[in-house]
């Protein structure tokens, strides 16, 4: 009997880095460690915006950022090396080039390089660049197969979601137009045009209700009440659609897992 050939180092590392290449569900230990480091990096980026902490621990924050940046650079280079194992990219330099220009790889590179940028608060551009570190959190999405279920759920209900979006836009435009005719002459600074009235409509339709803009006439208040009541259904519509879609996607995933387990048991029994 011929001994089974052990996969090479690149193939083994690819299975550790890419969850979809693993024969079993869940994240590898390497990816679990990367997730924890990503969360630590995001926490550091948030804490560094507090002056009382950076005054006392600024040097420690900088050292941790450099260490995390080195880890993420090494991770990026490792993914660049193993990407040719992924059928999505293909072999050779063309596969690596396709990986480099992919959105997830660009996010990885920006998140890693941001650790080595200046963190002074003298320039607005550098302050905005520091926020690029938060993009590390976006990497968590691809480390779990649950993201595929979310994408599938949204895609399967795209027609219903577009319809609910259209209904919301109709209510928003109609209500702001009516408030323009009713309140425009009385409050020209707030309802003097339809675009100005749209701000009130958005705040009311989303049930935020800042209170900075509101109608003062009886007819305007009646219309505002009708808009507020209508907004409950408009907001609840996509929520219910997405909840049902997520439930269906999870159910299909569980059925697929059960079929896969049943197939594995059948193969083992025949063996």
Per-residue pLDDT of the chain (271 residues; tens, 9 = 90+): 444 556 688 888 888 887 777 766 667 788 888 888 888 888 887 787 788 888 888 889 888 888 988 998 998 999 899 888 888 888 888 888 998 998 878 877 877 787 777 655 444 454 555 566 566 555 665 556 666 777 777 888 888 889 989 999 999 999 999 999 999 999 999 999 999 999 999 998 888 878 888 999 999 999 999 999 998 888 888 888 888 888 887 787 777 777 767 776 666 566 5
224-229 contact pairs (CB < 8 A, 24+) = 224/179, 227/171, 227/175, 227/201, 228/204
What confidence score (pLDDT) does residue 200 get? Answer: 92
Q: Are 85 and 10 spatial neighbours (Cβ–Cβ below 8 Å)?
A: yes
> Does the pTM of the predicted model rise above 0.85?
no
The pLDDT of residue 105 is 83
Domain range list for the chain: 9-143, 156-270
Domains 9-143 and 156-270 share a fold: no
Under CATH, to which class is 9-143 assigned?
Answer: mainly alpha
Question: Tell me, which fold does domain 156-270 have in CATH?
Answer: Helix Hairpins (1.10.287)
Residue 127: predicted pLDDT: 53
Q: Could you tell me the CA-to-CA distances from 231 to 156, 224, 227, 234 in Å, in that order? A: 24, 10, 6, 5
Spatial distance between the Cα atoms of 4 and 6, rounded to a whole number of angstroms = 6
What integer pLDDT is reported at residue 179 of this predicted model?
93
- pLDDT given at position 40: 86
Query: So what's the pLDDT on residue 182?
Result: 94
């Amino acid at each position: 009997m011929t001994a089974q050939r052990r996969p090479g180092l690149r193939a083994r590392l690819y299975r550790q880095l890419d969850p979809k290449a693993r024969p079993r569900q869940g994240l590898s230990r390497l990816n679990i460690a990367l997730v924890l480091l990503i969360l630590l990096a995001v926490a550091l980026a948030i804490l560094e915006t507090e002056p009382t902490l950076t005054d006392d621990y600024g040097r420690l924050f900088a050292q941790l950022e450099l260490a995390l940046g080195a880890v993420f650079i090494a991770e990026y280079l490792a993914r660049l090396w193993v990407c040719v194992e992924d059928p999505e990219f293909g072999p050779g330099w063309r596969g690596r080039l396709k990986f480099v220009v992919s959105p997830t790889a660009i996010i990885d590179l920006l998140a890693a390089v941001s650790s080595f940028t200046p963190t002074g608060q003298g320039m607005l551009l550098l302050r905005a660049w520091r926020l690029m570190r938060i993009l590390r959190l976006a990497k968590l999405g691809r480390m779990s197969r649950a993201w595929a279920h979310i994408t599938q759920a949204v895609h399967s209900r795209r027609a219903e979601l577009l319809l609910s979006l259209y209904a919301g836009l109709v209510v928003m435009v109609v209500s702001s137009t009516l408030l323009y005719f009713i309140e425009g002459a009385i409050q020209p600074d707030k309802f003097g045009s339809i675009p100005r009235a749209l701000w009130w409509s958005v705040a009311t339709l989303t049930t935020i209700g800042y209170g900075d803009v509101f109608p003062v006439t009886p007819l305007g208040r009646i219309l505002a009440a009708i808009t507020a009541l209508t907004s409950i259904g408009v907001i609840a519509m996509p929520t219910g659609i997405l909840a049902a879609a997520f439930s269906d996607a999870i159910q299909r995933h569980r059925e697929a897992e059960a079929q896969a387990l049943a197939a594995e048991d059948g193969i083992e029994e025949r063996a």
